[in-house]
Amino acid sequence: MNHPPLTIPELTDRMHAFVRSKGWYEPESKRPQTPRNLAISLALEAAEALEHFQWSEGPKNQDELAGELADVALYLLQLASLSGIDLEEAILKKLETNANRAWDS
């Protein structure tokens, strides 16, 4: 699948469009998109990615792992957006902080 790279804001817009299309932002939704619920979903999807490495050093199915990682990224984009966090800025700031940290050798 060849397509031009998207920015974090463009990916976030696509994620919001998908969630809106499912009606999950509606007040009566059975899947309320609150920061708490999104943080839980993010952790659960990250755990599902871990399952691909349980009892082996590599994933048995690369496509399934890719799907889990995409779920993690989508929940991360949504949680950051709904929490008012500029994810690109936060990542760059964290990289700068980490660059100045001392790591064990």
pLDDT digits 0-9 by tens, 87-100: 999 999 999 999 99
Using a cut of 0.85, tell me whether the model's pTM lies above it.
yes
Q: Please, where are the H alpha helices in 1-105?
A: 8-22, 35-51, 62-82, 87-99
pLDDT digits 0-9 by tens, 55-86: 999 998 999 999 999 999 999 999 999 999 99
**pLDDT for 55:** 92
**pLDDT for 105:** 65
**pLDDT for 84:** 97
Q: Higher pLDDT residue, 2 or 45?
A: 45
Question: What residue ranges define each of the domains in the chain, with the CATH number in brackets?
Answer: 8-91 (1.10.287.1080)
> 41: which 2 tokens?
């979903």
